[in-house]
Amino acid sequence: MKSYSCKICVQRGESFSGIRPLVRKHLREEHLIRGGQITVGKPAKEIGRIAHNMIVVDLD
């Protein structure tokens, strides 16, 4: 299974098993990154309206 994280979560050592849990965490916390881009392809783009300003890192 793929793991995803954002650049700030990577620094904290956190990763997630999918884009949705990652986005849910970021909606609770305020570390969305202005002007960033989703870099993991179609799964992220499905919910890109929520996560359009996250920098997402594919850890696999």
- pTM equals 0.40
C-alpha pair distances (Å), 42 with each of 33, 46, 51, 60: 20, 6, 13, 16
Asked whether 26 and 18 are in contact (CB, 8 A), the reply is: no
Domain ranges, residue 37:
4-58
For 7-56, how does the pLDDT look when each residue is reduced to its tens digit (9 = 90+)?
667 777 777 777 777 767 765 554 444 444 444 444 444 444 444 445 56
| Contacting residues for 15 by C-beta, under 8 A, at least 6 apart | 3, 4, 5, 9, 59
Task: Pick the more confident residue, 44 or 2.
Answer: 2
Structural domain count of the chain: 1
